[in-house]
């Protein structure tokens, strides 16, 4: 097998994004090996999911219990994705990923032992599902955050699609294989294979030696990093729109996943093999979607692609409510997979490209928190409705909700995939060189601009764009004032929590931020650069 190389060997940007093949990221050795190992691990996860869902169907007749499996799977992402993203931004990502794989192995091995010895109950299944998903919550933000380090920028879109494709290749193989092994040997076998499936990922991570990052400043404290991550998301309009559209889709789309096992077992009378085939059809549809997505993106922007995929998914949920011919429903499930990967890839790529590298794991963690929070809440809601009014009613209501939620396109637009230059500039905007204890603060920073009164309106429009730059990089507040006695003298101020927070702010500026700064400076009429002052709270 190919030696795992340094990340720098895998990051050579030579191809324009428009000419990138869907398979080109696999030419990067580190990405290729990690992708293969992750596909194998995901096959084990899907096999385990089939075993857990089928065991719950065997142990309980309550639709709410069935839906709670989906909720228990999604809840850890809602609870722990953001803390995990913070950890991934402030500690060694490779070691953190290794720890997450060890967690999954222990949880899967424990479930194997309990299943083999006959001690599995509905409560045990829910707890095991929760613990396995905690491992997924720990690993997902750092896994997604390292992708831009493993491929070139033009290859990023294809790499994101390949990761989604890998999940769905495993979705096509895992459930069918899991259903076969379930009928052959029982649930313990699929749980054991899930435990073994993480070994490959751990091996690749163990051998991977990423380029060391050079940090002049000490790492952030945990809660400070949480605050800065949330502040960044709040000041990033494209990312906020991605989050709104995520809620709008997944609250309603969760019904299809939460109630699918119930329809398969109770409405269609399928066994584990038949249920596995149904999931495999979803996976095949997703594979087809991943292959066709590059062509679809040439014809449709992100908003139109999202609407088309949402309406397609709504149609498949309606079919799940009423179609009772197995193979016809499997055909609809094929389009479920197609629509699902179109939505996931579009939202994931939007989140990836709208976050700077220094905060990428945290930003993606917020996206995952919203994603799985929506899935968790939706699963519980649709399971409760199914318990009271029946599965078809629950699916019909979810379908109508998704159709209405598609109208969010008119207010929260994704536009075309954002192509912002969010590479770190390496140049501080202030050029500050003051020796001050790191903990001193808060710090009020002011910039004085001399502006031609005729250009005041245009200047204010430009400087208000700079507000987002300051807030994203950590400013607690921001304002701009004009001197009453000296018309044309404008003072921009922003407040930092401490001196080290201001130093970190200087390291976080991207090439896009420098471009905005240059637009603002173009209005300055002074003979020297704008005066900068630092006011520190007295000790």
b vs e for 72-110, b when ≥16 Cβ sit within 10 Å of the residue's Cβ?
A: bbbbbbbbbbbbbbbbbbbeebeebbbebbebbbebbeb
Mean pLDDT of 251-268: 88
Asked if 493 contacts 437 with a C-beta cutoff of 8 angstroms, the reply is no
Q: What is the pLDDT of residues 500-511, one digit of tens each?
A: 888 887 777 777
3-state secondary structure of 423: coil
Q: How far apart are CA 286 and CA 336, in angstroms?
A: 8
Residue 203 lies in a domain: yes
- Token look-up 């194997």 returns 112
Q: How far apart are CA 273 and CA 388, in angstroms?
A: 29
Residues 175, 134 within the same domain: yes
Q: What is the pLDDT of residues 304-357, one digit of tens each?
A: 999 999 999 999 999 999 988 899 999 999 999 999 989 988 898 888 778 877
**CA end-to-end span of the chain, whole Å?**
60
Residue 417 lies in a domain: no
Question: Among residues 410, 425, 458, which one ends one of the domains?
Answer: 410
Compute φ and ψ for 279, nearest 5 degrees.
-65, -35
Q: How far apart are CA 30 and CA 204, in angstroms?
A: 8
Residues 481, 343 within the same domain: no
Asked if 327 contacts 274 with a C-beta cutoff of 8 angstroms, the reply is no
pTM recorded for the entire structure: 0.74
Strands 489-496 and 443-450, how do they pair? antiparallel
Position 8 scores a pLDDT of 28
CATH number of the CATH domain containing 502? 3.30.70.100
Question: Among residues 385, 410, 435, which one ends one of the domains?
Answer: 410
221 or 341, which is more confident: 341
Sign, Cα dihedral of 401, 242, 363, 287: positive
Position 403 scores a pLDDT of 94
Position 440 scores a pLDDT of 85
Residues 363, 477 within the same domain: no
Position 425 scores a pLDDT of 44
Helix (H) or strand (E) holding 11: none
If one counts the domains in the chain, the total is 2
Nearest to 384 by CA among 398, 405, 404: 398
Query: Two tokens at 147?
Result: 């992708």
DSSP assignments along 183-244, one per residue? HHH-HHHHHHHHHHHHHHHHHHHHH--PPPPP-SSPPPPHHHHHHHHHHHHHT-HHHHHHHH
The yes-or-no verdict on residue 428 having pLDDT over 60 is no
Position 212 scores a pLDDT of 66
Residues 479, 348 within the same domain: no
DSSP 406: G
Local confidence band at 415 (pLDDT 50, 70, 90 cut-offs): low
Q: Which domain holds residue 93?
A: 25-211+218-410
Residues 352, 454 within the same domain: no
Query: Two tokens at 301?
Result: 């922007």
CATH number of the CATH domain containing 105? 1.20.1250.20
| Most trustworthy range by pLDDT among 19-23, 287-291, 404-408 | 404-408
Residues 182, 301 within the same domain: yes
HSE of 379 in the Cβ direction (CA atoms, 13 Å)?
A: 23
Q: In sequence order, what are the residues at sequence separation of 6 or more whose Cβ sits closer than 8 angstroms to the Cβ of residue 29?
A: 2, 3, 4, 5, 9, 10
Local confidence band at 19 (pLDDT 50, 70, 90 cut-offs): low
145 or 462, which is more confident: 462
């Amino acid at each position: 097998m190919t030696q795992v190389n340094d990340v720098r060997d895998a990051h050579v940007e030579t191809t324009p994004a428009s000419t990138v093949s869907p398979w080109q990221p696999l030419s990067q050795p580190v990405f290729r090996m990690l992708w293969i190992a992750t596909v194998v691990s995901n096959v084990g996860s899907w096999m385990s999911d089939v075993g857990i869902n089928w065991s719950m169907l065997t142990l309980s007749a309550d639709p709410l219990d069935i839906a709670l499996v989906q909720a228990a799977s999604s809840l850890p992402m809602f609870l722990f994705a953001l803390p995990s993203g913070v950890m991934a931004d402030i500690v060694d990502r490779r070691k953190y990923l290794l720890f997450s794989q060890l967690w999954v192995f222990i949880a899967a091995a424990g479930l194997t032992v309990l299943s083999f010895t006959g001690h599995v109950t509905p409560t045990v299944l829910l707890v095991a599902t929760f613990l396995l998903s905690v491992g997924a919550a720990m690993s997902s933000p750092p896994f997604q955050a390292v992708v831009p380090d493993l491929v070139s920028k033009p290859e990023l879109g294809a790499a994101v699609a390949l990761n989604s494709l890998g999940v769905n290749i495993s979705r096509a193989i895992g459930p069918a294989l899991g259903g076969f092994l379930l009928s052959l040997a029982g649930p313990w076998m699929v749980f054991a294979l899930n435990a073994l499936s993480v070994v490959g990922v751990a091996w690749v991570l163990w051998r991977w030696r990423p380029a060391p990052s050079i940090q002049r400043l000490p790492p952030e404290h945990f809660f400070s990093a949480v605050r800065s991550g949330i502040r960044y998301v709040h000041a990033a309009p494209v990312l906020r729109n991605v989050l709104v559209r995520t809620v709008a889709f997944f609250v309603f789309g969760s019904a299809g996943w939460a109630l699918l096992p119930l329809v398969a077992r109770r409405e269609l009378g399928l066994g584990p093999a038949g249920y596995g085939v149904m999931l495999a059809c979803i996976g095949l549809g997703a594979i087809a979607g991943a292959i066709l997505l590059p062509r679809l993106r040439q014809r449709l922007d992100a908003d139109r692609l999202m609407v088309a995929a949402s309406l397609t998914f709504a149609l498949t949920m309606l079919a799940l409510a009423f179609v009772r011919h197995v193979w016809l429903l499997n055909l609809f499930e094929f389009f479920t997979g197609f629509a699902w990967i179109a939505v996931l890839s579009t939202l994931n790529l939007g989140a990836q490209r709208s976050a700077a590298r220094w905060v990428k794991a945290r930003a993606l963690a917020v996206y995952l928190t919203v994603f799985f929070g929506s899935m968790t809440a939706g699963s519980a809601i649709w399971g409760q409705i199914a318990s009271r009014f029946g599965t078809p009613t629950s699916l019909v209501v979810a379908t109508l909700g998704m159709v209405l939620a598609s109208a969010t396109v008119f207010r929260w637009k994704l536009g075309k995939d954002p192509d912002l230059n969010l590479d770190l500039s390496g140049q501080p905007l202030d050029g500050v060189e003051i020796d001050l204890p790191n903990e001193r603060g808060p710090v009020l920073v002011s910039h004085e601009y001399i502006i031609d009164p005729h250009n005041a309106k245009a200047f204010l429009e430009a400087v208000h764009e700079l507000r987002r730059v300051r807030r994203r990089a950590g400013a607690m507040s921001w304002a701009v004032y004009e001197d009453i006695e000296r018309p044309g003298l404008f003072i921009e101020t922003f407040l930092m929590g401490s001196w080290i927070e201001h130093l970190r702010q200087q390291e976080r500026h991207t090439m896009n931020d420098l471009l905005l700064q240059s637009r603002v400076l173009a209005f300055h009429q002074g003979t020297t650069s704008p005066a900068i002052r630092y006011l520190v709270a007295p000790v």
